[in-house]
C-alpha cells in the first residue's frame, strides 16, 4: 500500500463528503454470521468532530470527479480543485481496517458522477458486494444512490447495503432547477419509489420465507439543503412530510447550507451557516415522528417560519393556550407529550409513576421534567399553578428571559431536543 497516496486521497475524498449529513448508523439488524467481522444494529457514534457532529461511519466519496455542475457542491465540474478517485479495493481495505480498530460502525459511500449514473452506481455496489461476500463484513453500509441509476443496480445495492439514500438536495423542484440544472426531480423520485416497493415486497416475502435475503434493512433516507434557496420552513417540512408519507423514508436530514462557492445564485460566501434553523427543523421533525404532531400544527400559512428563539413545541403551546393546563395525574400520554419541557422518557415515567401516588412538583423534577418550562402548562398534586392569567406572549418572555440569564451564567449554547 502506498501510504502517502492513500493519505492524500483520503484527505480529498473525506473532505468533499463531509457536507453530507446523513451518517447515522442505526436501524439495521444485521448480525455477525459464521464468525465473520462485525454487526449492525444499535448505531454508535465513535467520535465527534470539533464542530460537535457525530462520527459513526467512514464517510467518503469514491471520487470527486463529476460531470454535473451543481452550484452548491464543491465537487462540481467547474470548480478548480484537486481530484482523486479510490479504487474499489482501497475503500474495502480502509473500511475493514478502521472497523477492526473500532473507529467506525461501517461505511457511508457516496460519489461524484463519472461518466454516467449507472457506471458510477455500479462501482459503489461493487464495494459493498466485495465487503459482504469476500470479507464476511456485517457492519453497516450506507450507499448513496446516484440519481437516474437503473432498477437492476438499485436492486443489487439493496441486497448488500443497510441503507440507501437519494438526496433531494433542494426542498422544491424550482430550487433544484435553479442550483442543479443537470438534475431533475423525477430521476430522484424513480429510484425512491423503486426502493420503497422493493422494501415492502421484501417485508412480505420475509413473513413467508425466513430465508429471504435482507433488502436495505435500515430503509431509505434523504437529505435537503436548507438556506441555499429561499424556501420557507413550511415548504421544507411539508416536503419532508410528503416524502415520509409516500416513500416510507426512515429519516429526512436537514443540512444548513455551508457557503463554499461564490456564485450569484447562492448566498454570499460570508453568510453564516443557519445552525439554529437547522436545529429547529430537526426538533420539528421529531415532533412529527415521535410526538404525534401533524405538520400543519407546527408550520402553516399563518406561521410559515419556525420561531428561532424557542423550540417548536413551546411555540405550538403558546399558540394553543386553550389546550392547557394539562393535569399530569390524569391526562393521556399523548397530551402529556405535548407539554413543553416534557420529553418522551419523562412522559412515560410520569404515566408509570402516577399509578403509585399523585405526583407533585418535586417528583416531576426528579423524573426529569424541565419545570421552568412545564410549570406554565400543567397542574399536579399541588395548589401552586404558575400560569395565573398569563398570555402566551408573557410566558414566552419569561422563559426566554430565564434561559437568557442561564445563557449568560454558563455562557453556553445549548441545543437540546426538549
Partner 1 sequence: MNTLLYDGTFEGLLTAVFEIYDRKLHHVKLITGEWRNEALFEEVIPVITDESRANRVLRGLRKKLSTAGVQRLYITHMAEIAGEDSNILGFIRYVFDSDINIEEDYGNRYVMRLSEILKMVRREKHRMEAFVRFQKLKDGTFYAGIEPDFNVLPLLIKHFKSRYADQKWMIYDIKRSYGLYYDLHDTQFIAMDFADGGKPANVIAAYSEDEGIYQTLWKNYFTSVNIASRKNTRLHIRHIPKRYWRHLTEKI
> In this complex, which beta carbon is closest to partner 1, that of residue 1 or of residue 333?
1
Helix (H) or strand (E) holding 13: helix 3-15
Beta strands in 151-226 (DSSP E): 163-165, 220-226
Which of residues 21, 58, 60, 66 is near ligand SF4 by CB under 6 A?
Answer: 66
Q: How far is the CB of 363 from partner 1 (least distance, A)?
A: 4
- In the complex, the smallest distance separating the C-beta of residue 191 from ligand SF4, rounded to whole angstroms, is 14
Distances (CA, A) of 99 to 56, 106, 159: 11, 7, 21
Going by C-beta distance under 8 Å and a sequence separation of 6 or more, which residues neighbour residue 112? 16, 61, 62, 63, 64, 65, 66, 68, 75, 120
**Contacting residue, 12, 58, 62, 70, with ligand SF4 by CB under 6 A:** 70
Considering only the stretches 75-83, 98-106, 109-117, 207-215, report the one whose residues sit in contact with partner 1 under the rule CB under 8 A.
98-106
CB of 287 to ligand SF4, least distance (A): 30
- DSSP assignments along 15-78, one per residue: HTTTT------EEEEEPP-TT-B--EEE----EE-TTS-EE-EEEEESB---S---TT-TT-TT
How many chain residues interact with partner 1 (CB under 8 A)?
Answer: 56
The 146-185 contact track toward ligand SF4, x by CB under 6 A, reads ----------------------------------x-----
User: Between 75 and 172, whose beta carbon lies closer to ligand SF4?
Assistant: 75
Nearer to partner 1, 8 or 204 (CB): 8
Q: How far is the CB of 107 from partner 1 (least distance, A)?
A: 12
Residue nearer to partner 1 on the CB measure, 222 or 363: 363
**Residues of this chain, 124-143, that bind ligand SF4 according to CB under 6 A:** none
**What cell was used for 254?**
436537514
Nearest to 323 by CA among 345, 310, 340: 340
- Binding residue for ligand SF4 (CB under 6 A) from 17, 57, 92, 113? 113
- Say whether residue 101 binds partner 1 (CB under 8 A): yes
Total residue length of the chain: 418
Does residue 413 belong to the site contacting partner 1 (CB under 8 A)?
yes
The region of 41-49, 116-124, 168-176, 198-206 touching partner 1 under the rule CB under 8 A is 41-49
Q: Are 417 and 366 in contact (CB under 8 A)?
A: no
Taking CB under 6 A as the binding criterion, the range among 71-79, 296-304, 313-321, 370-378 that sits at the site for ligand SF4 is: 71-79
**DSSP code of residue 227:** S
Name which of 90, 216, 109 is nearest 159 in CA terms: 216
Binding of ligand SF4 at residue 68 (CB under 6 A)? yes
Query: What is the Rg, in whole angstroms, of the alpha carbon atoms belonging to the chain?
Result: 24
- Residue 149: phi and psi, rounded to 5, are -65, 150
Measured at the CA of 298, the angle between CA 295 and CA 304, to 5 degrees, comes to 100
For partner 1, the binding residue among 5, 29, 47, 177 (CB under 8 A) is: 47
Binding flag, residue 380, partner 1 (CB under 8 A): no
Q: What 3-state DSSP class applies to 144?
A: strand
> Residue count at the site for ligand SF4 (CB under 6 A)?
9
If you search the block for the grid coordinates 397542574, which residue do you land on?
379
Nearer to ligand SF4 (CB atom), residue 112 or residue 171: 112
| Cell numbers found for residue 231 | 424556501
Binder of ligand SF4 out of 27, 38, 112, 191 (CB under 6 A)? 112
Quick one: what does residue 127 bind among ligand SF4, partner 1, none, with the CB cut-off 5 to 8 Å set by partner type?
Answer: none
CB within 8 Å of 339: residues ≥ 6 apart: 317, 324, 326, 374, 377, 378
Q: Using CB under 8 A, which of 115, 355, 388, 409 touches partner 1?
A: 355
Taking Cα atoms as reference points, which of 120, 47, 58, 55 lies closest to residue 92? Answer: 58
Enumerate binding residues for ligand SF4 (CB under 6 A): 66, 68, 70, 73, 75-76, 112-113, 180
Enumerate binding residues for partner 1 (CB under 8 A): 1, 3, 6-7, 10-11, 14-15, 17-19, 31-32, 35-39, 44-55, 58-59, 94, 97-98, 100-103, 136, 258, 273, 275, 349, 352-353, 355-357, 359, 363, 366-367, 412-413, 415
Amino acid at each position: 500500500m502506498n501510504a502517502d497516496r492513500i493519505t492524500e486521497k483520503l484527505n480529498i475524498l473525506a473532505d468533499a463528503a463531509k457536507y453530507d449529513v446523513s451518517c447515522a448508523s442505526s436501524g439495521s439488524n444485521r448480525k455477525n454470521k459464521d464468525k465473520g467481522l462485525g454487526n449492525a444494529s444499535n448505531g454508535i457514534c465513535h467520535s465527534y468532530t470539533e464542530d460537535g457532529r457525530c462520527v459513526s461511519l467512514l464517510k467518503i466519496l469514491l471520487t470527486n470527479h463529476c460531470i454535473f455542475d451543481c452550484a452548491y457542491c464543491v465537487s462540481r465540474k467547474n470548480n478548480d480543485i484537486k481530484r482523486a478517485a479510490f479504487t474499489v479495493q482501497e475503500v474495502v481495505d480502509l473500511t475493514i481496517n478502521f472497523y477492526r480498530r473500532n473507529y467506525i460502525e461501517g461505511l457511508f459511500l457516496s460519489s461524484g458522477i463519472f461518466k454516467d449514473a449507472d457506471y458510477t452506481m455500479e462501482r459503489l455496489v461493487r464495494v459493498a458486494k466485495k465487503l459482504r461476500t469476500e470479507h464476511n463484513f456485517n457492519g453497516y453500509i450506507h450507499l448513496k444512490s446516484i440519481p437516474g441509476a437503473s432498477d437492476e443496480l438499485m436492486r443489487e445495492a439493496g441486497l448488500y447495503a443497510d441503507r440507501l439514500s437519494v438526496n433531494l438536495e433542494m426542498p422544491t423542484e424550482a430550487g433544484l432547477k435553479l442550483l442543479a440544472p443537470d438534475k431533475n426531480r423525477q430521476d430522484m423520485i424513480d429510484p425512491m419509489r423503486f426502493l420503497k416497493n422493493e422494501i415492502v415486497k421484501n417485508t412480505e416475502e420475509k413473513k413467508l420465507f425466513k430465508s429471504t435475503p435482507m433488502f436495505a434493512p435500515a430503509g431509505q433516507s434523504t437529505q435537503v439543503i436548507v438556506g441555499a434557496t429561499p424556501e420557507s420552513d413550511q415548504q421544507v417540512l411539508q416536503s419532508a412530510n410528503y416524502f415520509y408519507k409516500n416513500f416510507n423514508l426512515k429519516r429526512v436530514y436537514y443540512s444548513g447550507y455551508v457557503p463554499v462557492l461564490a456564485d450569484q445564485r447562492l448566498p454570499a460566501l460570508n453568510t453564516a451557516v443557519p445552525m439554529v434553523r437547522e436545529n429547529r427543523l430537526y426538533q420539528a421533525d421529531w415532533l412529527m415522528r415521535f410526538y404525534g404532531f401533524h405538520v400543519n400544527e407546527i408550520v402553516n400559512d399563518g406561521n410559515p417560519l419556525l420561531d428561532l428563539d424557542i423550540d417548536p413545541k413551546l411555540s405550538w403551546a403558546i399558540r394553543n393556550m386553550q389546550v392547557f393546563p394539562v393535569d399530569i395525574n390524569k391526562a393521556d400520554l399523548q397530551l402529556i407529550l405535548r407539554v413543553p419541557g416534557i420529553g418522551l422518557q419523562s412522559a412515560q415515567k410520569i404515566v408509570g409513576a402516577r399509578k403509585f401516588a399523585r405526583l407533585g412538583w418535586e417528583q416531576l423534577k426528579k423524573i426529569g421534567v424541565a419545570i421552568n418550562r412545564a410549570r406554565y402548562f400543567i397542574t399536579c398534586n399541588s395548589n401552586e399553578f404558575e400560569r395565573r392569567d398569563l398570555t402566551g406572549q408573557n410566558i414566552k418572555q419569561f422563559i426566554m428571559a430565564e434561559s437568557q440569564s442561564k445563557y449568560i451564567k454558563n455562557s453556553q449554547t445549548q441545543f437540546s431536543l426538549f
